[in-house]
Amino acid sequence: MEIYNLFPGSFASNCYLLVSKGQAAVVDPSADAASIQQALMDHGAVLKYIFLTHGHFDHICSLDDLRDRTLATAYVHQADADMPCDAYKNAFYTFFHQERVYRRPENVFCDGDTFPLGGESIRVIHTPGHTEGSVCYDCNGEFLLTGDTLFAEGYGRCDLYGGSIDRMRASLKLLRTLPQNMRIYPGHGAPEVLGTALDMSAFFY
C-alpha cells in the first residue's frame, strides 16, 4: 500500500492518501478538496473511502467539499459520529468562538472492522483517549495511521470533549502489543517508528 501526505492541510493537520491498485482512501480530509482530487488523478486512483481518525474540525476541513465532488462517503468510529455536526464537540468553537459544522459521516464502524482496498486491507483499532471514538488505522500490517492519539513526540491531549486520560493510558498500552518497528503516520507532524513514539510517552502509562 502506498501512502502520500497531502500536507499542508489546514491547521497543520496531515491529510493522507492511501493507494492500492487503483483504489484510494483519504484519511482525515484536511487538505483542500481540489488538491485531493488532483492527487487522485496524479496516482490514477478512484476514491473509495474517506476515513476519519476522529471528529475534530482540524481533520475534516474539506469533508463536505470532498463528498460533494466525489462519490465517496465518510467513515468514522460510532462514538465520534456526532462530532462533525457540533461546533462544541468538534472543538471549532473552543478555539475560535465561532460555529463551524459539517454533515454527519454516512458510515460508522467499530473496533476490528476491516475494509478492503485494492486487494489489501485497512483495519480499525479503537484507541479512545484524545476523543471517545479516536482510532488508528492498521494499513495491511505495513504501517499505522495514529491520528491525534500518538505523535512522534508523544500522546495527544485528553482535555477536549470526550477526552479521557485513563482511556488514553489503556490505548497506549494496547499499541505496545503491536509490532514496535511499524512506522506511524500521525495526525500532526512527522512519521516515527511506533516503539520510539511510545517511548516518548512511557512515563505516562
Name the closest residue to Zn ion (Cβ): 56
* Nearer to Zn ion (CB atom), residue 143 or residue 151: 151
DSSP per-residue letters across 98-146: S----PPPSEEE-TT-EEEETTEEEEEEE-TTSSTT-EEEEETTTEEEE
Question: DSSP 3-state assignment of 61?
Answer: coil
Closest approach of Cβ 46 to Zn ion, in Å? 27
* Nearer to Zn ion (CB atom), residue 56 or residue 89: 56
Which cell numbers in the block locate residue 190? Answer: 512527522
* Nearer to Zn ion (CB atom), residue 32 or residue 148: 148
* Nearer to Zn ion (CB atom), residue 23 or residue 131: 131
Comparing CA positions, the residue from 114, 131, 95 lying closest to residue 51 is 114
Question: Which residues would be at the binding site for Zn ion (CB under 5 A)?
Answer: 56, 58, 148, 187
Cα 19 to Cα 194: distance, rounded to the nearest angstrom: 22
* Nearer to Zn ion (CB atom), residue 53 or residue 70: 53
Closest approach of Cβ 9 to Zn ion, in Å? 10
Closest approach of Cβ 116 to Zn ion, in Å? 27
Closest approach of Cβ 44 to Zn ion, in Å? 30
Closest approach of Cβ 50 to Zn ion, in Å? 16
